[in-house]
Structure 1
Amino acid sequence: MAGGKGGGLGGRGNKSGSSRKGAMKGSGGQRSKGLEGKGPTPKATERAKHPAAKRAVAATRRTQGTTGGRGTSRPKVPYKANRQISELIAGRNSVVEALRAQIPATTLYIAALIDIDDRVRESITLATQRGLPVLEVTRQEVDRLTDGAIHQGVALQIPQYDYAHPDDLLRLAEDASETPLIAALDGVTDPRNLGAVIRSAAAFGAHGVVIPERRSAGMTAGAWKTSAGAAARIPVAQAGNLTRTLESYQKQGLVVVGLAAGGTMDLAELEAGTDPLVLVIGSEGKGLSRLVQQTCDLTVRIPIAAATESLNAGVAAAIALYEVAQRRQRAGRL
């Protein structure tokens, strides 16, 4: 029968069988407590599931660098230049030239079943003479290692460059009892120009080269090759902020001189060349950046024919370093 023992919606509590709604006898007023006020409504950012709260949490994580789940600190990801891993040189000509230039290397990879020509034979001979591992791998493995570059079955792995600290260059000069001479590059992004500056710095008695971490060429295979071995004899330092590094050098007694087309004097008039010196070279197109130029104690120009708009960084550095070396030699400072 439809009602059964319980009498419809009331269940066991309504012995009279009445269908009347409301608080039942003996409830102790529990229903009335449920109607009490719960206070003001929380702000949207305080309600975990509200979109505004989720946006606030995401913004906090971006600012503080926290992980998503546990709230533990996560260090900021350094700039890519600081995370440079080993580089692979691909192609028969590139590999054999790198080995001839004594570029530091860790492993030579040769794809199995390739045609062996004179370049491959010489690469294997040079690697073996240097005690480098020569590994025969599948062509697919070389494809993977070189990320699809044209490799002709040959690849050479070179290690990450171990950059010096800018202050290390001053210690080198101090240990040699010499007047510091440092070349700094501002916005030079061509590795060949970096290699050329390193070569000139080594030739004219500089104690090292400073490059910024950002927007700058690094010590790649191209820079090693252009340096013609000089990169093994002179250190390259990386500066997190070039302007602050130059200011630090100034505090330690160095004169910061920038090469600029609109310099206040000709290079030949630079009497400060015999002082502890930082020579700053900018990019061919943009020259020195505004902040770097403002930081310089002096700016000098290299007189050139009107038909030539500018010199590239490698050539400009060579001319300026030569002039400084000649002035120091005359003054007996070398």
Structure 2
Amino acid sequence: MPETPDGVGVGPWEGPWPEDARYDPELLEHGDRRNVVDRYRYWSVEAVVADMDARRDPERFLHVAIENWAHDLNIGSVVRTANAYNVAGVHVVGRRRWNRRGAMVTDRYLHVHHHPDAQALAGWAATAGPGGERVPLVGVDNVPGSVPIEGRELPRRCVLVLGQESTGLTAEMQAVCDVVVHVTQHGSTRSLNAGAAAAIAMHSWALQHLPPGR
């Protein structure tokens, strides 16, 4: 794969084009400057999504939900991290339109869903499991009554639920969560950035349920 002069992505395909249907003719002709791992270079978006779906364990999967009431810039960052952990779905709760800037186009490779409120998300989760069983909702926020995420066993199938950057999880969302966990802090700041907390929570789940080097 020839690198581009500026080192961003790869240039046009050199030599005979592959016959594999996963490759995108336009990317083969003009090069691939997307932020994707090498295994997906020159693949179409549809082929990447299909491969990510196939690699996900049906018995161990993660969804991520984000409350969206104020067009929070951090939503994009959470989506980008969700892509890195190959989550089964991202759920935007509240406003349908969300700030995609921080996602760096990674949302194209994910299944993104919308729910108008917390009750709608809970209704979806009630039958979201492989056999129609309920998928637990795990809130992430340092609110009164939350428990440390460190050392806690997270469900192998669950939804991690994040709130807004400034206000955290709404009372309505806390009410539908099975449990709310927080990341233990040791400094003076009152809370972590929502994107940072989401990344820690996803990593904690992955350490418990995904094989190393997957």
Give the distance between the partners of 2:56 and 2:197, measured in 1 at CA.
27
Larger relative contact order (Cα-Cα within 8 Å, sequence gap ≥ 6): 2
Q: Which of residues 83, 103, 109 in structure 2 aligns to 1:233?
A: 109
Q: Where does residue 253 of structure 1 map in the other structure?
A: 134
Q: CA deviation at 1:173?
A: 6.1
Q: Which of residues 260, 280, 286 in structure 1 aligns to 2:161?
A: 280
Q: Which of residues 111, 114, 118 in structure 2 aligns to 1:242?
A: 118
Give the distance between the partners of 2:72 and 2:172, measured in 1 at CA.
23
* Unmatched tracts of structure 1, length 5 or more: 1-99, 101-128, 131-171
Number of aligned residues: 159
Q: Where does residue 264 of structure 1 map in the other structure?
A: 146
Q: CA deviation at 1:291?
A: 1.4
Paired letter, 1:259: V
- Which string of whole-angstrom CA distances, capped at 9 and with x for unpartnered residues, describes residues 173-216 of structure 1? 699443231110124534531110111001112122111243x7
Query: Whose Rg is larger?
Result: 1
Paired letter, 1:211: V
Give the distance between the partners of 2:196 and 2:157, measured in 1 at CA.
22
Does the aligned pair in 2 maintain the 1:255–1:272 contact within 8 Å? no
- Which string of whole-angstrom CA distances, capped at 9 and with x for unpartnered residues, describes residues 127-171 of structure 1? xx79xxxxxxxxxxxxxxxxxxxxxxxxxxxxxxxxxxxxxxxxx
* Unmatched tracts of structure 2, length 5 or more: 1-7, 9-29, 32-51, 128-132
Give the distance between the partners of 1:173 and 1:242, measured in 2 at CA.
26
Give the distance between the partners of 2:162 and 2:192, measured in 1 at CA.
11
* C-alpha RMSD of the superposition: 2.9
Does the aligned pair in 1 maintain the 2:149–2:181 contact within 8 Å? yes
Q: Name the one with the larger helix percent.
A: 1
- Which string of whole-angstrom CA distances, capped at 9 and with x for unpartnered residues, describes residues 309-333 of structure 1? 1122211111111111111125x8x
Q: Where does residue 49 of structure 2 map in the other structure?
A: none
Give the distance between the partners of 2:94 and 2:169, measured in 1 at CA.
16
Does the aligned pair in 1 maintain the 2:68–2:98 contact within 8 Å? no
User: 1:294 and 2:175 equivalent?
Assistant: yes
Identity of aligned residues (%): 25
Give the distance between the partners of 1:319 and 1:242, measured in 2 at CA.
23
Q: Where does residue 136 of structure 1 map in the other structure?
A: none
With normalisation by structure 1, the TM-score equals 0.42
Does the aligned pair in 2 maintain the 1:186–1:282 contact within 8 Å? yes
